[in-house]
């Protein structure tokens, strides 16, 4: 058995063991597998299921990044992602926290860079489908989101001079950067930008170009959704009955689909879900409220001088920088966190912005018993305790597990 398969089976066993059985002596997993899936989907249910696909869809570009979609830049970004020489002490690479075998996370409650951090490491698949990046949305592009941890003294502790030197001293990196620049042309630079900073920004844009190309593999849910679209009853019947019952809960009384929308199962926006935001005695993580302040102060945002212009002829209303120009910080943003995608969840435990929930069963339990008194006074009217039965909790878990990858045997693997 592969290490990944072992971790998945362990996660399933832990999650199912934590769910109290409704009937003594009858294992929950056995009950979930033998109960019928329920009546045929209604037209409204069918439309909602179809809205979560097809997968994979078109690949959006990284805004403000002239390298987006260019093969030499993506190849450079892939190498830079693995390169510890970028960090201040030469020990940490991006993949030190974003391990491909763990869904590009690290398995820790909170990240460990040069110093301990207060937030959980987020996965990297399907990021190009988001509008904002980081738990607090403090970046408006993938290249800016890549630049921030490079320079943060608590994370990688890099400097512009150190990154430029690491590229110059490695012929493969220097050659790919030259090829990417030749293909894309000169980038946007404020007057007086030093060559080292130009190299640093282009390194971040190469990493952003590679990140924008990352896609989750197809899942059992995607096969079911596509079979539903073509009315293929035989293929639909291969979807586990428990997962189908969990899907109906997800788009029905659970109302999970109101935030976890579309093919990526995320609306990309920010919500108060009743998670504590104290990180220690007298220490507070304000979430989106702080993220907006950081975004608007960032000289590498989409309205700053380092952002490459959009393609000629783009209508003003489609300019990706419009979101940053018009964002309006509000007090209600305090304690809000970005809605994550639900694809490939079992590989990315633990969960929530501070990694406090160890399993998917614990996540379900949080929403099952959510204390609405913890929410904003003007808060999340969508949220209410689910009060699910043990069998319903098992079904919802079965659906979430059906969003795990089913990679092709011939798919390239990151090592």
DSSP string of 102-164, one letter each residue: GTSB-SSSS-BSSSB-SSPPPP-TTGGG-SSBSTT--BSSHHHHHHHHHH-TTTT---HHHHH
How much is the pLDDT for 382? Answer: 76
Quick one: pLDDT band at residue 32, thresholds 50, 70, 90? very low
Mean pLDDT of 145-151: 98
Quick one: pLDDT band at residue 393, thresholds 50, 70, 90? very high
**Across all residues in the chain, what is the average pLDDT?**
89
How much is the pLDDT for 159? Answer: 98
- 117-131, 173-187, 399-413 — which is least confidently predicted? 399-413
pTM above 0.85, yes or no: yes
Quick one: pLDDT band at residue 373, thresholds 50, 70, 90? confident
Mean pLDDT of 59-79: 97
Quick one: pLDDT band at residue 25, thresholds 50, 70, 90? very low
Counting other chains too, the contacts that 235-242 makes at CB distance below 8 Å and 24 or more residues apart are: 239/402, 240/33, 240/398, 240/402, 241/32, 241/33, 241/35, 241/36, 241/37, 242/32, 242/33, 242/35, 242/394, 242/395, 242/398, 242/399
How much is the pLDDT for 374? Answer: 74
Beta carbons within 8 Å of 99's beta carbon, 6+ residues apart: 105, 106, 107
Among left, alpha and beta (phi > 0; psi -120 to 50; other), residue 28 is alpha
Quick one: pLDDT band at residue 62, thresholds 50, 70, 90? very high
How much is the pLDDT for 353? Answer: 96
Quick one: pLDDT band at residue 43, thresholds 50, 70, 90? very high
Residue 8: pLDDT over 80:
no
Residue 28: pLDDT over 70:
no
Mean pLDDT of 385-414: 82
Mean pLDDT of 94-109: 96
Query: In angstroms, rounded to a whole number, what is the distance separating the alpha carbons of residues 1 and 6?
Result: 6
Joined together, the tokens standing for residue 267 give: 């609306």
Joined together, the tokens standing for residue 67 give: 């390298």
pLDDT > 70 fraction of the chain, expressed in percent and rounded: 88
113, 117, 123, 127 alpha-carbon torsion, rounded to 10°: -100
Mean pLDDT of 15-39: 45
DSSP designation for 195: H
Residue 377: pLDDT over 90:
no
- 78-92, 235-249, 373-387 — which is least confidently predicted? 373-387
Mean pLDDT of 123-132: 96
Mean pLDDT of 159-163: 98
């Amino acid at each position: 058995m592969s290490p990944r398969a072992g971790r998945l089976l362990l996660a399933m066993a832990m999650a199912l063991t934590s769910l109290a059985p409704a009937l003594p002596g009858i294992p929950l997993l056995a009950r979930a597998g033998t109960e019928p899936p329920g009546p045929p989907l209604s037209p409204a249910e069918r439309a909602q299921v179809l809205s979560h696909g097809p997968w994979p869809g078109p690949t959006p570009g990284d805004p403000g990044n002239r390298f987006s979609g260019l093969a030499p830049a993506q190849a450079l970004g892939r190498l830079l992602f693995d390169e510890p020489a970028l960090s201040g002490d030469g020990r940490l690479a991006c993949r030190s926290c974003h391990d491909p075998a763990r869904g590009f996370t690290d398995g820790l409650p909170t990240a460990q860079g040069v110093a301990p951090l207060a937030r959980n490491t987020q996965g990297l698949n399907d990021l190009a489908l988001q509008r904002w990046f980081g738990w607090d949305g403090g970046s408006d592009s993938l290249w800016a989101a890549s630049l921030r941890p490079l320079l943060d003294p608590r994370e990688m502790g890099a400097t512009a001079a150190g990154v430029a030197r690491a590229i110059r001293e490695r012929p493969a990196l220097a050659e790919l950067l030259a090829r990417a620049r030749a293909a894309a042309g000169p980038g946007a630079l404020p007057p007086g930008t030093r060559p080292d900073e130009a190299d640093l920004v282009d390194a971040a844009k190469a990493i952003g170009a590679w990140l924008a190309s990352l896609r989750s593999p197809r899942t059992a849910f995607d096969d079911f959704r596509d079979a539903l679209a073509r009315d293929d009853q035989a293929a639909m019947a291969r979807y586990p009955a428990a997962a189908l019952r969990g899907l109906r809960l997800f788009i029905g009384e659970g109302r999970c689909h109101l935030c976890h929308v579309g093919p990526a199962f995320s609306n990309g926006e920010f919500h108060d879900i009743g998670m504590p935001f104290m990180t220690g005695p007298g220490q507070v993580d304000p979430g989106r409220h702080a993220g907006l302040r950081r975004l608007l102060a960032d000289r590498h945002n989409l309205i700053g001088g380092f952002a490459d212009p959009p393609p000629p002829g783009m209508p003003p209303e489609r300019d990706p920088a419009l979101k940053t120009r018009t964002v309006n910080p509000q007090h209600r943003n305090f304690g809000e966190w970005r809605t994550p995608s639900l694809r490939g969840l079992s590989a990315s435990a633990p969960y929530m912005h501070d990694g406090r929930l160890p399993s998917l069963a614990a996540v379900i339990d949080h929403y099952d018993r959510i204390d609405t008194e913890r929410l904003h006074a003007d808060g999340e009217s969508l949220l209410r305790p689910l009060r699910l039965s043990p069998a319903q909790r098992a079904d919802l878990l079965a659906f979430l597990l059906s969003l795990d990858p089913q990679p092709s045997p011939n798919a390239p693997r990151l090592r």
